[in-house]
Amino acid sequence: MADNKEIIPPQYDLDAKWDACLDLTVRRFVYSSFAGALGGLLFFRSPVTRWASIAFGAGVGIGSAYTESSRLFDGPPRKLALPEVSETPIQSVQDSE
C-alpha cells in the first residue's frame, strides 16, 4: 500500500497541518500559562491578580498559536505593491508667486 505522503502533496495535507496546529496551541497555552503563573508568584500578592496573570499568559499563548496556525493554513502574508513615484519636479514657492 502506498504511503500517505506520496499521494498528497505537503501543501494539501490537512491532517498534518491540523496536527501541527493542535500541538502548537497546546504547547504555547501551557508554556504561557506557566510563565504567567511564575510572573504572578513573583510580582503579585493577591490571588485575583495572580489568576489574572495566568489568564493573560494563556491568552497570549493562544493568540500567538492562532497567528502561526493561520500562516500555516493560508501561507505567508502577501507582499503589497509599492506605490509608483512620479518623476515630476516639485515647484518651488518662488515659481508660484
Which residues have CB under 8 Å from 17's CB, separation 6+? 72, 73
- Residue spans of the domains in the chain: they are 13-73
Express each pLDDT in 9-41 by its tens digit.
666 677 788 888 999 999 999 999 999 999 999
In this predicted structure, what is the pLDDT of residue 1?
47
In this predicted structure, what is the pLDDT of residue 81?
77
C-alpha 15 chain-centroid distance:
20
In this predicted structure, what is the pLDDT of residue 16?
80
Question: How is residue 35 written as a grid cell?
Answer: 510563565
The answer to whether 49 touches 40, Cβ cutoff 8 Å, is yes
Express each pLDDT in 42-76 by its tens digit.
998 999 999 999 999 999 999 999 999 888 888 77
Reported pTM: 0.65
What is d(CA 74, CA 33) in angstroms, rounded to the nearest whole number?
Answer: 27
